[in-house]
């Protein structure tokens, strides 16, 4: 490697030393053209660090090192990979306050909720450590009994992992844990808004014993060029992406050229149904979690509340009361329930969705405005009487805005819920188990919370149907996304 680009730069972010280079082939370094980009704290609008800005050729170097490390990592024992992941779990857990501080600094989330993400994110490392040694094949007689069918599972190969900014640690560990457990080497591309948490994770993984070349890290502001270049290279065998549906479908087009394995966790438009026999106080509790966790910046956020008319008044009253009591503040403030939105572009988008809804007849119960000051804060908002055709009902809001639609019957509620191209998550509240099961069988979503506002869990399969994506992450099938089945036809004719 060119000695001029070998640097070991770091920044102190919220009191935590974070390396700010690229990590390629086991070395931290600058980008080939020595460019850096700024990371901003959305609570203050101030720059907190500069991170190396990988060029497409840096990404190719990362793929080269991932490809070179693939054979030995893929053949290393499952137990060894498991123990490295377990060590990484211990290390992230031991440094949970540091991770939480960096998350809060670069994406603004209230610190207590950032600690929650660290625990959730670390859990994927433990979960996949446990999965690594439990990958099995089969051994069976062929149907005619004339030979033996044996199957084994092998790693797919070097994988590109592209993550979003909304859960900067957990979206990384969910992919990296599964890939490493399966024996794949990886190139990690974090969102440009939140590269620091991932840099800290990559450092921890290296210290936990991940061999050089197995994990490579290439933050960039040139995401489209980077993926275009990498996806043309046949050494790359897999892409796993979490982000918006338009980018996901573009990556799928690129993946088609080299017939590349793809996992896509894309957008959602989550309906939250409160059926006529729901326990309303508990539905309001669930709604607060489903809507306002991470300020609504989650693909599994409830986007549309759909409430049976028999319980609508009580539900709306409870939701408005709780929403107007939420404290919006800098993520470092202990009182904060809601931090800023990730950037001003996103805040303007949320404002536009709310303004459009109000202009088309929606009733505003609380919020509906951007807070003054340097950070990108937006007041938690509740709207009713929103026309179903309004953009806020069709698009993912990604902000602290709840819309409530009143349905005349439970059947109408389910029809409204399914009226979307997305199918990631749905929530249903009812006190009757048979009604709950009937609703879950009719709701078109990959995940359904039944009397719960939170579905995310390392031990459960996360993923959606329709425009929400392909594949599942976490759970006992999460590792399958990184494995191929190899079948052996074995002649078992005993010589005469």
Closer CB to ligand ADP, 119 or 344, in the complex: 344
Window contacting ligand ADP (CB under 6 A); options: 43-51, 78-86, 184-192, 454-462: 184-192
Cα 86 to Cα 79: distance, rounded to the nearest angstrom: 10
Shortest Cβ 391–ligand ADP spacing (Å): 16
For the chain, helix (H) and strand (E) counts, in that order, are 14, 24
Q: Tokens 């610190």 map to which residue?
A: 111
Name the nearest CA neighbour of 117 among 68, 50, 174, 38: 174
Residue 152 contacts ligand ADP per CB under 6 A: no
At residue 444, what are phi and psi to the nearest 5 degrees?
-90, 85
Residue 219 contacts ligand ADP per CB under 6 A: no
Lay out the site mask for ligand ADP across 242-271 (x = CB under 6 A, - = otherwise).
Answer: -xx--x--xx--------------------
Strands (E), 224-285: 238-242, 261-265, 270-274
Residue 380 contacts ligand ADP per CB under 6 A: no
* DSSP class per residue in 283-312: HHHHHHHHHHGGGG-STTSEEEEEEEHHHH
Helices (H), 295-427: 309-324, 344-359, 391-394, 410-418
Shortest Cβ 31–ligand ADP spacing (Å): 15
Instruction: Rule CB under 6 A: choose which of 11, 78, 223, 454 binds ligand ADP.
Output: 223
Does the active-site annotation cover 117? Answer: no
Residue 227 contacts ligand ADP per CB under 6 A: yes
Does the active-site annotation cover 106? Answer: no
Residue 164 contacts ligand ADP per CB under 6 A: yes
Check: CB of residue 245 under 8 Å from CB of residue 467. Answer: yes
Instruction: Rule CB under 6 A: choose which of 34, 47, 141, 224 binds ligand ADP.
Output: 224
Instruction: Rule CB under 6 A: choose which of 169, 191, 357, 458 binds ligand ADP.
Output: 191
Shortest Cβ 309–ligand ADP spacing (Å): 35
Residue 162 contacts ligand ADP per CB under 6 A: yes
Residue 294 contacts ligand ADP per CB under 6 A: no
Name the nearest CA neighbour of 25 among 56, 78, 85, 70: 70
Closer CB to ligand ADP, 126 or 175, in the complex: 175
Closer CB to ligand ADP, 189 or 237, in the complex: 189
CA 6 to the chain's CA centroid: 31
Q: Which of 98, 265, 396, 473 is catalytic?
A: 265
Shortest Cβ 37–ligand ADP spacing (Å): 11
Window contacting ligand ADP (CB under 6 A); options: 186-194, 324-332, 429-437, 486-494: 186-194
The Cα angle at residue 166 between residues 25 and 88, in degrees rounded to 5: 45
Residue 408 contacts ligand ADP per CB under 6 A: no
Check: CB of residue 219 under 8 Å from CB of residue 51. Answer: yes
Cα 189 to Cα 106: distance, rounded to the nearest angstrom: 16
Q: Which of residues 75-114 bind ligand ADP (CB under 6 A)?
A: none
CA 418 to the chain's CA centroid: 23
The secondary element (H helix, E strand) that includes residue 91 is: helix 78-94
Enumerate the active-site residues. Answer: 265, 299
**Using CB under 6 A as the criterion, which residues of the chain lie in contact with ligand ADP when the complex forms?**
162-164, 189, 191-192, 223-224, 227, 243-244, 247, 250-251
């Amino acid at each position: 490697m060119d000695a001029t680009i070998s640097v070991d730069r770091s920044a102190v972010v919220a009191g935590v030393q974070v390396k700010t280079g690229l990590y390629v082939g086991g070395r931290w370094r600058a980008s080939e053209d020595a460019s850096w980009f700024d990371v901003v704290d959305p609570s203050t609008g101030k720059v907190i660090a500069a991170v190396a800005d990988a060029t497409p050729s840096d990404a190719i170097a990362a793929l080269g090192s991932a490809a070179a490390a693939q054979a030995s990592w893929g053949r290393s024992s499952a137990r060894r990979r498991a123990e490295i992941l377990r060590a990484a779990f211990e290390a992230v857990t031991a440094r949970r306050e540091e991770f939480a501080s960096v998350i809060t600094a670069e994406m603004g989330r209230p610190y207590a909720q950032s600690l929650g993400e660290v625990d959730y994110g670390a859990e994927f490392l433990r979960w996949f450590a446990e999965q690594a040694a439990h990958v099995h094949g089969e051994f069976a007689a062929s149907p005619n009994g004339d030979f033996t069918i044996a199957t084994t599972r092998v790693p797919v190969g070097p994988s590109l992992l592209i993550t979003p900014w909304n859960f900067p640690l957990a979206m990384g560990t969910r992919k990296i844990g599964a890939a490493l457990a399966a024996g794949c080497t990886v190139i990690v591309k974090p969102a440009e808004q939140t590269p620091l948490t991932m840099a800290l994770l990559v450092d921890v993984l290296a210290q936990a014993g991940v061999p050089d070349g197995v994990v490579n890290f290439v933050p960039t502001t040139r995401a489209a060029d980077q993926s275009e270049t990498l996806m043309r290279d046949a050494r790359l065998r897999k892409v796993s992406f979490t982000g918006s549906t338009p980018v996901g479908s573009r990556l799928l087009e690129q993946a088609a050229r080299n017939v590349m394995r793809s996992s896509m966790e894309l957008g959602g438009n989550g309906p939250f149904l409160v059926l006529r026999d729901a326990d309303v106080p508990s539905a309001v509790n669930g709604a607060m979690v489903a809507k306002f966790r991470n300020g609504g910046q989650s693909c599994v956020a409830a986007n549309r509340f759909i409430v049976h008319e028999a319980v609508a008044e009580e539900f709306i009253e409870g939701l408005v009361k709780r929403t107007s009591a939420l404290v919006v503040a800098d993520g470092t403030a202990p009182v904060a329930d809601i931090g800023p939105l990730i950037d001003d572009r996103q805040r303007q988008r949320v404002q536009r969705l709310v303004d459009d809804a109000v202009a088309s007849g929606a009733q505003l119960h609380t919020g509906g405005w951007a807070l003054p000051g340097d950070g990108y804060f937006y007041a938690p908002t509740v709207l009713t009487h929103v026309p179903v055709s309004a953009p806020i009902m069709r698009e993912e809001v990604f902000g602290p805005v709840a819309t409530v639609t009143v349905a005349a019957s439970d059947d109408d509620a389910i029809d409204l819920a399914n009226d979307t191209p997305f199918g990631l998550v749905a929530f249903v509240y009812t006190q009757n188990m048979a009604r709950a099961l009937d609703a879950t069988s009719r709701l078109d979503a990959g995940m359904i919370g039944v009397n719960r506002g939170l579905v995310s869990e390392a031990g459960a399969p996360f993923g959606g149907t329709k425009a929400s994506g392909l594949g599942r992450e976490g759970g006992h099938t999460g590792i399958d996304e990184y494995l191929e089945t190899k079948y052996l036809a074995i002649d078992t004719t005993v010589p005469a």
